[in-house]
Amino acid sequence: MVGITIPKDYEERVNMQTYKNFKAAAYVHAQFLYYADERDVQRGIDYFERYMPLNKVYLETHRGLYDVPAERMKAFKKLFIDRGIEVSGGITSTIKIDGYEKNNIFDVFCFSDPVYRERYMQIVRDTASLFDEIILDDFFFTACRCEMCIEKKRNRTWAEFRLEQMEQMSREIVNLAKSVNPGCNFIIKYPNWYESYQECGYNPGRQKDIFDMVHTGTETRDPRYSQQHLQRYLSYSLIRLMENIAPGRNGGGWIDQYDSYGNMNMWLEQAYLTIFAGARELTLFNFEDLIDSPALPPLGQQLERVDSIMGKVGKPIGVSFYEPYDADGEDQVMNYLGMVGLPIEPTPEFDSNELSILLAASAAKDEDIMEKLERYVREGGTAAITSGFLRAVYDRGIKDMTSVSLTTRRVSGKEYWIDSYYMNHKTYADAAGNASFEVLDYKTNATWCEVAMISGDCSFPVLLHEFYGRGHLYILNIPDNFSHLYNLPGDVLGYINKSFSRGRNVYMNTAAKYNLFLYDNDTIGVISYRPYTEDMEVVLRGEKYVGLRDLETGREYFPVRENLHPAKRFDSAKTQIEPVERVMRIPIKNGAYRFFSLIKE
């Protein structure tokens, strides 16, 4: 290996370039380190330095067929440290052991097999001897169904077996690492497939108290042409979920270029959304792939802008979306709703103090969910449930709160009406494409239909409203194809956003493919995934909010109109008191993001 000459002004330049609100990190692949020399690494550092600061790297000791020799790793570690870059270790939990091959996905470790367990322990032991911090890439799971695993599983489900096994393994490897290096900070990185964690043994409800920190996979994929159907909002929502799972110990988000090579904006959006969600670190996978890559220059330019914005916003807030540990059902539905402009704050806890709560089928994992929901609404809360949740708790008490019943009949169409009980004013809207729903039956005047789809000489519920105790329960009929939410007219989506975000100061009234971000210091952000430049509508609630000020340009925007005020419905004796709603119309380019502060009177 050759010696390296460090530029005299290097330290001064790096200090000037460090981001104020987050760190930038890169993961360095074991295969690269296995074959690379110092010139290769030096060239990579120089390329990063040209376009963005590199604050930290994770040097991978093991992945699949590759183990980086200790002396070689020590030399690379020194090289990065000498250049002012923090260094941690990394492990990817995939392996091939000759004579002990397993028939499983990605060649992940079989933790039932003592040969595999001992090999894994040796990898952890060696890595802890080299680094004061270790991160596990998101292959620390098991998908093995070998004879040993089948025998150990017994009569349990695979999820039950794997959750227990991986909890045990987590305790063993953390204890081992700390016995080798008592100061070792051990991090588990969770993958983007959160709805499938329990099936493969990821156990954040327990592992959050075993590992020192967590890290979050915020890589999104093309939802049409990949194994996963991840929506782009996941790069934001999963950071928020993990922050609420391990407050203050979610180290950051991790992005890659896969499935976005042909669309540079999809790569950049992963980074924006991760940081908009409050991530403390942005980890780029991986170092080798980004050397000489055209993806790095625009990322560096945009991160400077994002850093400036994040210095002006507060803590992210939104509609509480209850996602219990080890739950699944209506996979990704919260991210589809995020893509129609609903600001979501996912959490593993049901918080009865929240202004509004949103429940999908996954919330039915909580055995006590109906008791919690009934009490919350009866005492004055506003809850929204999906049709998937309705089905999951259909025989667990929900019928005491609604007259709505399931039918299994299907209907499709693209015409809609909106008939808010409190507005006493019906509007009509056409969609660009069809959506297919289950037909929900309800009893007239026992339940109010707020939004309906017209098909033939009939209309069918999309959004229903129940008056229960001192509170309100909304039921949203989710289309058979979740992405058909994007086909709903802007007025319909706006009304859904309005209903679900009661108590919030802002909601969006526009077509799908926007994200809205709310912060606790009266600042907001919006990002557009639309195919063209257009005016978006943002609605301000309350007398004290009179406009929006762009956080970057200072330009101010003021209302173009006020929404209708509540009106008495037919022969009723009273009307609902609601805050005034002022509609802002603001231009935004496709693929762009803008942030604003709320102007007060």
Full 3-state SS string of 427-449? EEEEEEEEEEEEEEECCECCEEE
The reply to whether 4 falls in a domain is no
The answer to whether residue 367 sits within a structural domain is yes
The answer to whether residues 219 and 239 touch, using CB atoms and an 8 Å cutoff, is no
Query: 321 and 307: one domain?
Result: no
To which H or E segment does residue 582 belong? strand 581-588
Q: Which two tokens stand for residue 275?
A: 């940081």
Coil, strand, or helix at residue 568?
A: coil
Residue of 355, 345, 274, 349 whose CA lies nearest to 316: 345
More confident residue, 6 or 457: 457
Q: Do the beta carbons of residue 473 and residue 500 sit within 8 Å?
A: no
Q: How far is CA 52 from the centre of its chain?
A: 25
- Residue 576: the pLDDT is 83
- Please check whether residue 108 lies inside any domain of the structure: yes
- Strand, helix or coil at 549? strand
Residue 1 has pLDDT above 60, yes or no: no
- The CA-based angle 350-351-352, given to 5 degrees, is 110
In the chain, the number of structural domains is 2
Cis status, amide bond into 286, omega within 30 of 0: yes
Q: Is residue 302 in a domain?
A: yes
Residue carrying structure tokens 């670190």: 281
CA angle 299, 304, 306 (to 5 degrees): 85
Please report whether residue 388 resides in a domain.
Answer: yes
Angstrom distance (rounded) from CA 269 to CA 116: 38
Residue span of the structural domain in which 197 resides? 10-311
Cα 318 to chain centroid, rounded = 13
Looking at residue 2, what is its pLDDT? 33
203 in any annotated domain: yes
Supply the pLDDT for residue 575: 86
CA distance 415 to 432: 9
What would the pLDDT profile of 384-438 be if each residue is shown by its tens digit? 999 999 999 999 999 999 999 999 999 999 999 999 999 888 999 999 899 999 9
- As a whole number of angstroms, the distance between CA 329 and CA 386 comes to 11
Q: Would you say 329 and 322 are in contact if contact means Cβ atoms under 8 Å apart?
A: no
- Closest C-alpha among 496, 561, 560, 552 to residue 523: 552
248 shares its domain with 338:
no
Nearest to 41 by CA among 97, 98, 87: 87
Domain identity same for 258 and 344: no
Q: Are residues 151 and 83 in the same domain?
A: yes
What pLDDT, on a 0 to 100 scale, did the predictor assign at position 577? 85
Q: Is 238 helix (H, G, I), strand (E, B) or coil?
A: helix
Report pLDDT digits (tens) over 280-336. 999 999 999 999 999 999 999 999 999 999 999 999 999 999 999 999 999 999 999
Q: Read off the pLDDT band of 18 (50, 70, 90).
A: confident
Domain termination site, one of 273, 296, 311? 311
Domain finish residue from 294, 311, 328: 311
Please say whether the beta carbons of 165 and 111 come within 8 A.
yes
In a shared domain, residues 487 and 543: yes
Mean pLDDT, rounded, of the chain: 95
Question: Strand pairing of 344-347 and 319-322?
Answer: parallel
pLDDT in tens, 35-94: 999 999 999 999 999 999 999 999 999 999 999 999 999 999 999 999 999 999 999 999
Looking at the structure, tell me whether residues 340 and 429 fall in a common domain. yes
The helix (run of H) or strand (run of E) holding residue 125 is: helix 114-130
Distance between CA atoms of residues 208 and 187, nearest Å: 10
Those residues whose C-beta lies under 8 Å from the C-beta of residue 348, and which sit 6 or more positions away, are: 204, 205, 241, 244, 245, 322, 323, 324, 325
Same domain assignment for residues 402 and 267: no
Structure confidence at residue 17 (pLDDT): 67
| Amino acid residing at 261 | Y
Q: What's the rounded Cα separation, in Å, for the pair 418 and 428? A: 6
3 state DSSP class of 594: strand
Q: Are residues 367 and 249 in the same domain?
A: no
Last residue of a domain, one of 284, 311, 338: 311
Task: Look at residue 261 and give its three-state secondary structure.
Answer: coil
Q: In what order do the strands lie in the sheet with 316-317?
A: 316-317, 514-519, 523-528, 593-600, 545-550, 556-557
Any domain includes 3: no
What CATH number should be reported for the domain holding residue 30?
3.20.20.80
Q: Is the pLDDT of residue 11 over 60?
A: no
Query: Cβ distance 279 to 239 under 8 Å?
Result: yes
pLDDT of residue 568: 87
Separation of alpha carbons 537 and 584, rounded Å: 6
pLDDT above 90 coverage of the chain, percent: 90
Q: List the CATH number of the domain containing 356.
A: 3.40.50
240 and 349 belong to one structural domain = no
Check whether residue 236 and residue 202 sit in a common domain. Answer: yes
Residue 5, domain member (yes or no): no
Read out DSSP for 209-225?
TTSSEEEEE-----SSS
Structure tokens given for 147: 């004879």
- Asked whether residue 295 falls in the same domain as residue 323, the answer is no
Q: Are residues 352 and 274 in the same domain?
A: no
